[in-house]
Amino acid sequence: MKSILQLLFTFSITICASQEVAVLKYGGGGDWYGNPTALPNLVRFCNEQVNTAIATQTETVDPGSIDIFDYAFLHMTGHGNVFFSAEEAENLRNYLMSGGFLHIDDNYGMDEYLRKELVKIFPDKELTELPGNHPIFTYHFKFPQGLPKIHEHDNARPQAFGIFNEGRLLLLYTFESDLGDGWEDQEIHNDPPDVRLKALQMGANIVKYAFEH
């Protein structure tokens, strides 16, 4: 029987070779299913604009499932409560430490719940705000001022937070930006084309950066 380390090494190789994404279905009652057109639209944009080859059929995965290791990139969003069991937190930690990437986009209202759950995943690491000159903001499309503002909620500036391990960005949390709303079909939020384009371009930067790091 393979050891845990051997399995994680195998998963790491699989993740590094993968260009697949999925939505993370979490517990706690929050609307993990929010923005249903967002990720498919982002995938199409990435395939057209930054030379990715991502399946256009967006899948959903549970944080405690071994299936998360089939995806290089997980996307998580919502407005409300978030809960991870101890087993789910351990599975997510193993996934992230073995090469996976998690992007969390606050759709407004999940911040207070999310932060305490992230401690379960990484009790020894803290969210750190990314400076405006972090490479993710200029990786393909240029955002020299950092994370763009897509939707207004509390008249607060947009912030991008990360969790790192040995210099690698494992997890990106975008706050007060609401990128996912800008990825959705135009008629849902009636965002002007330039705002939607900024959201999609920033999303493409995130996906491309995650795949290549």
Res 1 pLDDT > 50: no
Residue 4 and residue 66 in contact, taking contact as beta carbons nearer than 8 Å: no
Q: What is the 3-state secondary structure (H, E, C) of 40-98?
A: HHHHHHHHHHCCCCCCCCCEEECCCCHHHHHCCEEEEEECCCCECCHHHHHHHHHHHHC
Reading phi first (left if > 0) and then psi (alpha if -120 to 50, else beta), residue 99 is in: left
In whole numbers, what is the pLDDT of the chain averaged over residues? 91
- Residue 61 forms beta bridges with which residues? 24
How far apart (Å, rounded) are the C-alpha atoms in residues 90 and 170?
14
Q: Which CATH number fits domain 4-212: 3.10.580.10, 3.40.50.12140, 3.30.540.10, 1.10.3720.10?
A: 3.40.50.12140
The reported pLDDT for the residue numbered 3 is 45
C-alpha closest to that of 156 among 206, 113, 106: 106
Q: What is the mean pLDDT of the segment spanning 41-56?
A: 96
- What are the residue boundaries of the structural domains of the chain, listed by start? 4-212
Q: What is the pLDDT of residue 151?
A: 80
Mean pLDDT on 141-161: 91
**pLDDT at site 18:** 63
Q: What percent of the chain has pLDDT over 90?
A: 82
For residue 60, name the pLDDT band (cuts at 50, 70, 90). very high
Better-scored residue on pLDDT, 69 or 19: 69
